[in-house]
Amino acid sequence: MTRLKNTGTKLTRLGQILRVFMEKEKVSSSWLSKEFHTTPRTIQRDLQLLKDMKQWIKRHQPEPADHRHSLFKPGAAVNMDNLFE
């Protein structure tokens, strides 16, 4: 049960981190760790996971012939390029 709770907590935190980056251009890992009451190392692992997820999505995103009928319309995805500068 604890592992399931930790997974839910992590997923919630990842979503909240993404929301912070949508609202702010730059944020330090120390600020994030204080905001989410966790360690800077945990935030660094979270950011690495988000970066890995971004790479996976880029590799596996289909290239539709007609973007009008696609869930992956150009520009529809969250632009995460500035998250890890």
**pLDDT at 73 > cutoff 50:** yes
Position 8 scores a pLDDT of 82
Query: What is the rounded distance in angstroms from the CA atom of residue 58 to the CA atom of residue 52?
Result: 10
8 Å CB contact between 20 and 40: no
**pLDDT at 12 > cutoff 50:** yes
Average pLDDT in the 8-33 region?
Answer: 90
Q: Is 21 exposed, middle or buried (0-12, 13-18, 19+ CB in 10 A)?
A: buried
**pLDDT at 79 > cutoff 90:** no
Whether this model's pTM surpasses 0.95: no
**pLDDT at 35 > cutoff 90:** yes
Q: Quick check: helix, strand or coil at residue 72?
A: coil
8 Å CB contact between 83 and 47: yes
Name the token pair of 7.
């997974």
* Domains of the chain listed by start with CATH number: 1-58 (1.10.10)
Mean pLDDT of the chain: 77
